[in-house]
Structure 1
Amino acid sequence: MDGQGSDGRMSDTRLSGKVMVTGGAGYIGSHAVLALADAGYDVVVVDNLVTGFAWAVDSRATLVEADVSDIETIRTTIREHGVRAIMHFAGSVVVPESVSDPLKYYRNNTAASRALIEAAVAEGVPHFIFSSTAATYGTPERVPVQEGDPKAPINPYGMSKLMTEIMLKDIAAAHPINYCALRYFNVAGADPAGRSGQSTVGATHLIKIAVEAATGKRGHVGVYGTDFATRDGTGVRDYIHVSDLAAAHVAALELLVAEPSESHTLNCGYGRGFSVLEVLDAVDRVTNMTIERRMEGRRAGDPAELVADNGAILAALPWRPERDNLDGIVRDALAWERKLAEMGK
């Protein structure tokens, strides 16, 4: 776990205690747990299991069933387990739902994050990694979008995440804690070894929906919006493999440990976008099927195009994408969907 500092000397990047992963029974969180455990870290998962699954938590981790807004339980868990870093994934993530029920998102994302950060500061946790989103940019003025570009969320989901980023910046200026906010673009795929994947019932991720259609769980795939100012009229997104994303979290943790006075905000994407129709073409190729597509109106809160400029993360971390292949992402998602069917889930 040693890395080379900017002056050429070796710097210690090994955390001296456990990592708390909130939302570690969910999709991205469970993959982060795998990446941490594979790298030799001790992990304690905190999840209320409202949308997560206890069976999705790797056996090498300890699961505490609790809500991140419960400050006293979180403080007790930090003390009892010797937590020295927090990776915060817990929250609500459905953009259209955030438009129809904004209070849920400001409660589950912003207010709950504030409580978690308060517990971390009170217990002297020095490192915090936050699961943020490209939705903080809203409809970007340029694509690919850079971290310093204007933040103007067009839905409460993006705003709830941006508010947490602002809290972290202010708190890091006032307390001995550093943070890394990782702004995800569109996360997809599943652990290539078949240990975890997207398991949420009623998920709204395009690739998840498409592989559900390919395995008979859905009859068709809705295409929401065909009149965007894009190459084929459908929304364009930067799809990142969930295992690459999980690896970025481990690298970000080691950066925070190595540079305890520095904080970072980094895009997590590949720097290349695919339209909805291009993704569905990939699913057709991988499955050797033709998935039924139904053209629908736009959903509330959806921008036309979101693609990352990933230059900053490539410069800050030794992380490099290993699974930057759309067909490969689809294959891993499809394999997980078939495994879920075998598991009766």
Structure 2
Amino acid sequence: MKVLIIGGAGFIGSTIASRCLDEGVEVVILDDLSTGRAEFVDGRTWYEGRSDGGPLIDRIFAEHPGIHAAVGCAAKIVVPESVAAPLYYYNENVVAGLALLGHLLRNGCHRFLFSSSAALYAPGPGITEQAPLAPMSPYARTKAHFEQALEDVTVGTPLRAVSLRYFNPIGADPHGRSGIQVRRPTHALGVMIDKYHAGEPYPVTGTDWETRDGTGVRDYVHVWDLAGAHLAALRRFDTVTSAEGGGAYRVINLGSGTGTTVLELLKAFETVTGRPLPAEHLGRRPGDNAGAYPDIALARELLDWTPALTLEQGIADSLAWYHRRDTVLAPLEGADA
């Protein structure tokens, strides 16, 4: 099998590429390096360019006949940035994405696996694929709009598509080839790692939510498990998108299936490091909610997939990548990458 990974120089895309290569799947990568890193595609077959670049995509298919499917991992994903620059996000995540679909169809590629987001859903526990969509940021709304367009395209063209929705990837490639490329990540575990190394308390915002310990619930899944789910979807693509499988467009949730509270994350972090990390208990922030996690029964049924790696393993691999990152990634001039 040969697959095209759009955005294959980013955190998620490069890990999917690594897992595919490790399991005998040939990979071709397209990435414009706007957020991806050249170090993550070193030694791999890759092209530098945008997902809406028609002539380059035509060239890729001409030079690599027999591409089985395309995997879409090229979206912009930073929520605050999407609030400040909504036009940019709609152009990158929706307009460019629709152009990509046209280029794929023109080249006879009729299988598209979309790496999507569970941020489309309203907060809540055990969210199923049938839950109503309630995206709460421009970023999440671009994902929702593109998915809705993607479903329409599968009705009116030969394209078939699968959208994999998940919340927070953690960890790194277990072999140390890639991880989160930004040096100061803003997600909960990234902040926890930074506070740990700085010797500062971790801010726990909100302790009176209606959850099992009063702190917000988030869902974490190891990036290597996510890569395995993408590979399983590629291998089962024709079955999943058949009439018997549910039609030309399918949505499948990925995740832990249980969620993790902030205090549970903190306890797991202390278990991995063997050292206490003081916490600073603060009030709720504007816009916060009790959190959410998805139901993953459909992933078990259709993909034979459940996460194999624990929260603690994700934390350990994130810490290992923190120490390895600067030996893999060269500094970017003029920026705190």
Fold-level similarity (TM above 0.5) = yes
Question: SS where residue 116 of structure 2 aligns?
Answer: strand
Question: SS where residue 176 of structure 1 aligns?
Answer: coil
Match of 2:218 among 237, 242, 245: 237
Match of 2:55 among 72, 77, 81: 72
Question: SS where residue 68 of structure 2 aligns?
Answer: strand
In structure 1, how many angstroms separate the alpha carbons of the residues matched to 2:329 and 2:96? 33
Match of 1:162 among 136, 141, 144: 144
In structure 2, how many angstroms separate the alpha carbons of the residues matched to 1:81 and 1:337? 36
Whether the 8 Å contact between 1:236 and 1:274 is mirrored in structure 2 is yes
Question: SS where residue 126 of structure 2 aligns?
Answer: coil
Whether the 8 Å contact between 2:126 and 2:257 is mirrored in structure 1 is yes
Whether the 8 Å contact between 2:253 and 2:298 is mirrored in structure 1 is yes
In structure 2, how many angstroms separate the alpha carbons of the residues matched to 1:34 and 1:138? 32
Shift of 1:51: 1.2
Whether the 8 Å contact between 2:173 and 2:223 is mirrored in structure 1 is yes
Shift of 1:302: 4.5
Question: SS where residue 252 of structure 2 aligns?
Answer: strand
Question: SS where residue 180 of structure 1 aligns?
Answer: strand
Question: SS where residue 197 of structure 1 aligns?
Answer: coil
**Corresponding position: 1:336 with 2:317:** no
Whether the 8 Å contact between 2:117 and 2:164 is mirrored in structure 1 is yes
In structure 2, how many angstroms separate the alpha carbons of the residues matched to 1:104 and 1:134? 21
**1:10 corresponds to:** none
1:154-303 counterparts in 2 under 5 A?
154-216=136-198, 221-258=202-239, 261=242, 262=247, 263-295=249-281, 302-303=288-289
C-alpha RMSD over aligned residues: 2.2
Shift of 1:317: 1.1
In structure 2, how many angstroms separate the alpha carbons of the residues matched to 1:296 and 1:100? 26
Shift of 1:184: 0.9
In structure 2, how many angstroms separate the alpha carbons of the residues matched to 1:95 and 1:272? 24
Whether the 8 Å contact between 1:198 and 1:208 is mirrored in structure 2 is no
Match of 2:91 among 102, 107, 110: 107
1:94-173 counterparts in 2 under 5 A?
94-140=78-124, 143-173=125-155
Whether the 8 Å contact between 1:94 and 1:204 is mirrored in structure 2 is no
In structure 2, how many angstroms separate the alpha carbons of the residues matched to 1:200 and 1:79? 34
In structure 2, how many angstroms separate the alpha carbons of the residues matched to 1:301 and 1:108? 25
Give the letter for the 1:69 counterpart: D
Give the letter for the 1:20 counterpart: L
TM-score, with length taken from structure 1:
0.86
Give the letter for the 2:153 counterpart: I
Cα separation, partners in 2 of 1:195 and 1:166, compared to 1, 3 Å: same
Whether the 8 Å contact between 1:74 and 1:119 is mirrored in structure 2 is yes
Match of 2:34 among 50, 53, 62: 50
Question: SS where residue 127 of structure 2 aligns?
Answer: coil
In structure 2, how many angstroms separate the alpha carbons of the residues matched to 1:27 and 1:293? 29
Q: Mind listing any 5+ residue stretches in structure 2 that lack a counterpart?
A: 331-337
Give the letter for the 1:62 counterpart: T
Segment of structure 1 superposing worse, 298-307 or 161-170: 298-307
Cα separation, partners in 2 of 1:308 and 1:343, compared to 1, 3 Å: same
Shift of 1:270: 1.7
Give the letter for the 2:110 counterpart: P
Identity value in percent: 39
Give the letter for the 1:153 counterpart: P
